[in-house]
Amino acid sequence: NAPYFTEHSSFPNVSDMIHPDTVHGIRSILIAITLGLFILITFIGNFLVIYAIATEKNLKCTANWLILSLAVADLMVALLVLPLSAYNEIYHQVWVLGPELCRMWTSLDVLCCTSSILHLLAIAVDRYWAVTNVEYARCRDPKKIYILIAGVWAGSSVISFAPMFGWKDPDFFRRLEEDKRCMVSQNVIYQVFATCMSFYIPLIFILLLYWNIFKQARKRIRSRPGASAVLIVEKNKDKHGEADGETLQLATEIPENGVTTNQAPVGRLLVLAKREKKIAKETTEAKRERKAAKTLMVITGVFIVCWLPFFVMALLMSVCEACEPNEHVFSFLLWLGYANSLLNPFIYTIFSPDFRNAFKRMLCGYQTSTQRC
């Protein structure tokens, strides 16, 4: 008797031979390995940022305090949030760990993720101040950085722990006890408040700040401080219009003090090639503008791609029961948001030579020259 063979087939159907429990076990193992690597990379990346700032002398400066605090928030995501999120994925969103742990986990989830997002806003504010105020860029005021960091953690705490003090939806305990689903409060007012304060409002300000930063950077790249001499070559023509030589004149642009210099004939020159220098300068300016634009696009683009789909889904779920996606879509969008904590240590350090050199020394023992930030 061969139950997996049919009259018209001499080979067994492999999918029928595999027991459902075996398929489920293999799937769970693959999910566990994948999410385990995700958590490990998130932990290592943020730990390296913290360790670099704590041990590298040239990174111990006020400018990096916000980066340090961001790395702490993302490290907390890796240690306090992601392990239980991975547990939820392996067991298909079935929560059997009790209501108290559920409430603590969801609060820590909101706290750490909101803090991570609000740190991106604080970093944008700091960079805007640095671009628009030269004195601030040269010597950052520690008090302002302290206020930014304290504001980020205080705001995140208010948003995250509000459900623990009664701002829950009526179905919270029923959903937990009957459906075995551990979710953040689905109270409509709370969801609108939380999603706006955690994402939508910070997103608007981040876009506005980085747009102004880019405009200021482009303006500085194109500006020419002080007086600069401009050489002008004029063709001397005879009465028949034929060129009989070249006269070099020196003209100056208006310097910062507003004093101008009259044009003065200098003499004749045989060869004058200034166009190549001008073209080279314009090319350098264009490269700097493209680099500045690329940096800001990467920072804001990754942030939007990671978190926007999840927060759109979170807001829709609270106001429309029929809008709740299936398990796989929900999991994908949730972990896409978590991916921002994995990518932050790379995004906010890859553009810094000091951080790159520090990582090379820590990981490879590579010696490089350093300079203070």
pLDDT tens for each residue of 210-234:
888 888 877 776 665 443 433 334 4
User: What tokens does 238 get?
Assistant: 């005879």
* pLDDT at residue 257, as a whole number: 44
Question: Looking at the structure, do residues 261 and 300 belong to the same domain, yes or no?
Answer: no
Question: Looking at the structure, do residues 206 and 295 belong to the same domain, yes or no?
Answer: yes
In a domain, 144, yes or no: yes
* pLDDT at residue 19, as a whole number: 53
* pLDDT at residue 7, as a whole number: 39
* pLDDT at residue 288, as a whole number: 59
Dihedral angle over CA of 117, 120, 124, 125, nearest 10: 60
Strand partners, 230: 251
Residue 226, classed as helix, strand or coil, is coil
CA distance linking residue 114 with residue 207, whole number of Å: 17
Which residues, at least 6 apart from 300, have a Cβ–Cβ distance to it below 8 Å?
206, 207, 210
Rg, Å, the chain Cα set: 30
CA distance linking residue 133 with residue 146, whole number of Å: 18
CA distance linking residue 74 with residue 59, whole number of Å: 19
Question: Looking at the structure, do residues 209 and 233 belong to the same domain, yes or no?
Answer: no
Residue type, 259: V
In a domain, 4, yes or no: no
Buried b (16+ CB within 10 A) or exposed e, 312-348: ebbbebbeeeeeeeeeeebbebbbebbbbbbbbbbbb
Q: DSSP string covering 340-366, please?
A: HHHHHHHHHHHT-HHHHHHHHHHHH--
Question: Looking at the structure, do residues 53 and 108 belong to the same domain, yes or no?
Answer: yes
* pLDDT at residue 32, as a whole number: 92
Question: Looking at the structure, do residues 103 and 248 belong to the same domain, yes or no?
Answer: no
Question: Looking at the structure, do residues 236 and 221 belong to the same domain, yes or no?
Answer: no
Alpha-carbon separation of residue 78 from 35, 105, 345 (angstroms): 11, 13, 13
* pLDDT at residue 121, as a whole number: 93
* pLDDT at residue 310, as a whole number: 94
Q: Which strands form 243-252's sheet, in the order they lie side by side?
A: 229-237, 243-252, 264-267
Question: Looking at the structure, do residues 135 and 234 belong to the same domain, yes or no?
Answer: no
* pLDDT at residue 367, as a whole number: 58
Stretch (H or E) spanning 231: strand 229-237
CA distance linking residue 253 with residue 178, whole number of Å: 78
CA distance linking residue 25 with residue 19, whole number of Å: 10
User: How many domains are there within the chain?
Assistant: 2
In a domain, 187, yes or no: yes
Question: Looking at the structure, do residues 67 and 117 belong to the same domain, yes or no?
Answer: yes
Strand partners, 246: 235
Contact 184, 110 (CB under 8 A): yes
Question: Looking at the structure, do residues 269 and 284 belong to the same domain, yes or no?
Answer: no
CA distance linking residue 160 with residue 138, whole number of Å: 36
Sign of CA dihedral 208, 306, 114, 117: negative
In a domain, 6, yes or no: no
Question: Looking at the structure, do residues 182 and 206 belong to the same domain, yes or no?
Answer: yes
Question: Looking at the structure, do residues 247 and 283 belong to the same domain, yes or no?
Answer: no
Express each pLDDT in 230-289 by its tens digit: 333 444 444 444 444 443 333 333 344 444 444 444 444 444 545 555 555 545 655 655
Query: What is the 8-class DSSP label of residue 243?
Result: E
Question: Looking at the structure, do residues 203 and 244 belong to the same domain, yes or no?
Answer: no
What is the SS3 assignment for 182-207? CCCCCCHHHHHHHHHHHHHHHHHHHH
Contact 233, 263 (CB under 8 A): no
Nearest to 342 by CA among 8, 31, 75, 42: 42
Contact 213, 284 (CB under 8 A): no
In a domain, 3, yes or no: no
* pLDDT at residue 254, as a whole number: 37
In a domain, 254, yes or no: yes
Q: Which domain holds residue 316?
A: 18-225+278-364
* pLDDT at residue 290, as a whole number: 65
Nearest to 148 by CA among 68, 217, 213, 207: 68
Intervals of the chain under pLDDT 70: 1-21, 23, 166, 221-293, 365-373
